[in-house]
Structure 1
Amino acid sequence: MQKNVILASTSVFRQQQLRTLGVDFIAAKPMFDETPLAGETAHDTALRLAVGKAQSLAAIYPQHLIIGADQVAWCHNRQLGKPMSVEKAAAMLRELSGQHIEFYSAICVLDTVSGSLNSHVDTTIVQMRELSDAQIARYLARESDAIYCAGAAKSEGLGAALLQKIDSTDPNALIGLPIFWLVSCLMAHGVEVI
């Protein structure tokens, strides 16, 4: 019997990625504190948050596959979150202009029947273009969702114009879900994707 799939995320970007695969799922808001821990690497933060989000819904969905995901950006020896305002996004983009940024996109699949947990972290290296204040302002005026993206660069939209180069094994990971890994994991759990 195929288990129902829960996406532990309210991210419209992740939901769209899962819809594109044709997977039937329910999106549920995880109840998990997303504050990074002192001394934690970006990789470890992303993985802990992805797993924590999935586990936070296990009691509510006891016979399901729960997908947890999170992404953390790293530049200048610090983690970058979602700016959540145009002013913070502009400041973040000025700081990131011309820089290399590492994006850690963590994902897990928790089978709440067996208790098994599979996880993966995909690393994407992005080279940002040199950006003027005018370019940043125009971008943020046209791409209002950028404030909800780690590093303020919505790569699947106009944010692609901010990028000079992407080095990744899965270009989907930069949007929020490492799809290549996820498809293999879901199929191993009996979810027919293709």
Structure 2
Amino acid sequence: MLPLLLASSSVYRRDLLTRLRLPFSCSSPDIDESHRPGETAVELVKRLSLEKARALAHSHPNHLIIGSDQVAVLDGRIIGKPHTHDKAHQQLMSASGASVSFLTGLTLLNSQTGHYQVDCIPFTVHMRPLKTEQIERYLLAEQPYDCAGSFKAEGLGVSLFQRTEGDDATSLVGLPLIRLVDMLLAEGVDIP
């Protein structure tokens, strides 16, 4: 098996990948993650996941490189990571009683052959109607300022949900393991 490389500095993605019990290393790619004019959210995450993997192909020949990128979409517009308490509060107030779609682009690139697989995995979170006090308590407890949508689904953020919808809950955290296993199997990786 070629060595696995996760093209990410995300602790969330790293933690998810450890579930597969495969040895891997991590490296953070340096790419421009700007949204291009006219580009759909699906096109954006697929392009960025592929660019992240390709950015590391020359420095990591003979590897299987995993690239992933995620956006949250609310009312047809992309919402990013809030980075601040106030922006997180605004995001959660906007999402109150609404549905937020998470689109995760996933790429597996074989840097030895140049062959790659790319997909976009959707997952939707239907939020409870939220009160300002609930939002404040949640933000103070978890401080999810580095998370698109302003919540951590793997933690207390789940208390904000009314229901979820999708084939792979790990895509909500940023690395769709079910689809990744399909890609790894296609490259001849034995799992488990």
Aligned to 1:179: 177
TM-score (norm 2): 0.97
**Residue of structure 1 equivalent to 2:127:** 128
Give runs of aligned pairs for residues 22-171 of structure 1, distance below 5 A: 22-144=21-143, 146-171=144-169
SS state at 1:151 partner: coil
Please report the TM-score for the alignment, with normalisation by the length of structure 1.
Answer: 0.96
Query: Once the 2 structures are TM-superposed, how far is the Cα of residue 16 of structure 1 from its aligned partner?
Result: 0.4
**Following TM superposition, by how much is the alpha carbon of 1:94 offset from its aligned partner in structure 2, in angstroms?**
0.9
Unaligned runs of 5+ in 2: none
Alpha-carbon distance in structure 1 between the residues aligned to 2:23 and 2:188? 13
Offset at residue 43 of structure 1 (A): 0.9
Amino acid at match of 1:83: P
List runs of 5+ in structure 1 lacking aligned partners.
none
Q: Percent identity?
A: 39
SS at match of 1:141: helix
Superposition deviation, residue 29 in structure 1? 0.5
Q: Once the two structures are superposed, what CA deviation does each residue of 1:23-74 show, in whole Å capped at 9, x if it has no partner?
A: 1111111111111112211111111111111111111101101000011111
Runs of 4+ with deviation above 3 angstroms: none
What's the CA shift for 1:193? 2.2
Q: What SS class does the counterpart of residue 88 from structure 2 fall into?
A: helix
Report Cα offsets for 1:80-135 as digits up to 9, x if no partner.
11111222111111111111111101101000000001011111121111111111
What is the alpha-carbon distance in structure 1 between the residues aligned to residue 158 and residue 26 of structure 2?
27
1:190 shift after superposition: 2.6
Output the CA distance in 2 between the equivalents of 1:98 and 1:72: 19
CA root-mean-square deviation: 1.0
User: Could you say what secondary structure the match of 1:150 adopts?
Assistant: coil
Q: Structure 2 CA distance, aligned partners of 1:88 and 1:171? A: 25
Partners of 2:119 and 2:31 in 1: CA distance = 19
Residues matched between the structures, number: 192
**Residue 165 (structure 1) shift:** 1.0
